[in-house]
Amino acid sequence: MITPRSTYSLPIQKRVFSFYEEKMQLCDKSYVSAETTDVDAIYDTISNDMIKNTLFAKTSVIILTANKYERNILHNKVFSTTNTNMKIKKVEIDLLTACDRFNKVYAYSFEWHGKTCLHIHANVTGSYTIGGAADIINWIKSNAYLFPTLIISFGICFGTNEKNYELGDVIISKKIYPYFIGAKVNGEELVVVDDNAFQIDMDLFNKISDLFNNNRFNKLNKFKVTFDNYLTGEAVVSSLKTRSTINSITTQNTPAGDMEGYGVFKECNRSDFKVPCLVIKSICDWGAEKNFDTSNETTIATFKSIVKSIPDSKTTDEIKQLVSTLKDRIQAYSVSCAFKVLDIMMQYCELKKSLLNELREWLSIYNGVSTTCKEIKAKAYEITNANGISGKSVDLYIHRCLMILDENDQIKCHDDCINDNVKDNCINKEQNAAVRINNRRKSVKT
């Protein structure tokens, strides 16, 4: 005898099946896009260090993902919508704490609406899991060529309120509220202080508010876009009871939850590394009924009774295969919705450029020959201050950008201080850093 599922999750199951009946073509189309990636057509693998460093220094926006559908749909859609036929540059990077099961991590560079983006795909979900979001941010922080002006955690999330939201709806983060990590036990209740520091900066808040005020998202009438708060924690939520418990830890409205937001916001708001950050994700499930048991006759019967547009010619095995991939099809659709929102933001939101690109634009008025290194450095400090760049070695970052301009023959320095002082400065800092690392390793061994 087959035991029926718990009745309190059955309404969610029926809601998911009804959603698929309504959005079947869109879900299936997105699923095909997510499952097929033509590597030869899309990627150009880069191994040359100078090219890598130039790509990093040009980067203004970094996009993080942790799900293969997030990665594949982002790449396929960027490649097909940029109209440049330029391959996405693929670079292997070395995380300090790479996951043993996935010791290779990749970054992907591409131009998108006039902005140089670097996409980094984590092989594991979560904030402080090994190789998770926090490790990615710390790798960014440790790379002397990288100083992004915005970091975006992109993809899919779970919804907490199926009465007011639908699968595919996209939530842009205002503030995040961690569950488990940072939560307090008050009597028998799990609570979190509502006035936490995990919120987007005011300049970014105003720019996104302008997108809503100017109705930029109105044309996306197939799903809803809201600017609201997130729950965030290390654990996957797969129970309505658990979802209800963590949803009650704050008095704030939190229509969505994810696993990476805490690590991104925390690491992007350290005193030695402050970078604006944001979560843009689409609801792909309700924290329950994610995987459907195809051996359960009740599940299959419920699916058939709700999804009436399935052709009669499909066999029971084919229907079971469809039900077993239903989570993936809805995830793929949801990522596509999130992409549309991110595409509008990249197109219409005035985001700050990288220092290297701003210097290149500024140098174009001099035609590269009528300014001095002293003036270039002064302009570089002016740009970094205006962009709110602080922490790690701003001096070293500026020197790196000047080195790239010099090696690409974009600076004709009258004082010749780029070739000598800047390179010597960088080399000395690199050598000193290498000595410190070796000394630490020796002390650990002893």
| pLDDT band for position 404 (cuts 50, 70, 90) | confident
Domain ranges of the chain: 10-290+321-348, 355-445
pLDDT digits (tens, 9 = 90+) for 296-311: 888 888 888 898 888 7
Q: What is the largest CA-CA distance in the chain?
A: 87
Structure tokens given for 118:
């670097």
**For residue 415, what pLDDT is reported?**
52
195-226 burial, b at 16+ Cβ within 10 Å, e below that, comes to eeebbbbeebbebbeebeeeebbeeeeebbbb
CATH for the stretch 10-290+321-348: 3.40.50.1580
- Is pLDDT at 380 greater than 80 in this prediction? yes
Per cent of the chain over pLDDT 70 is: 81
d(CA 110, CA 119) in angstroms, rounded, equals 8
Residue 409, classified by CB atoms within 10 Å of its CB into exposed (0-12), middle (13-18) or buried (19+), is: exposed
Helix axes 10-35, 326-348, angle to 10 degrees: 70
> Tokens standing for 151?
């970091």
pLDDT value at position 3? Answer: 36
Nearest to 265 by CA among 231, 226, 236: 231
Beta-ladder partners of 9 = none
Average pLDDT across the chain, whole number? 83
Give the pLDDT confidence of 72-101 residue by residue, as tens digits: 999 999 988 766 568 899 999 987 665 666
Which of these ranges, 13-27, 125-139, 186-200, 339-353, has the smallest mean pLDDT? 186-200
Query: Could you tell me if 136 and 64 are in contact, meaning their C-beta atoms sit under 8 angstroms apart?
Result: yes
pLDDT digits (tens, 9 = 90+) for 117-169: 999 999 888 888 888 899 999 999 888 889 899 999 999 999 999 999 999 99
14, β-bridge pairs: none
Return the closest-CA partner of residue 102 out of 120, 124, 135, 119: 124
Name the band, by pLDDT with cuts 50, 70 and 90, for residue 41: confident
Rounded mean pLDDT, 300-329: 88
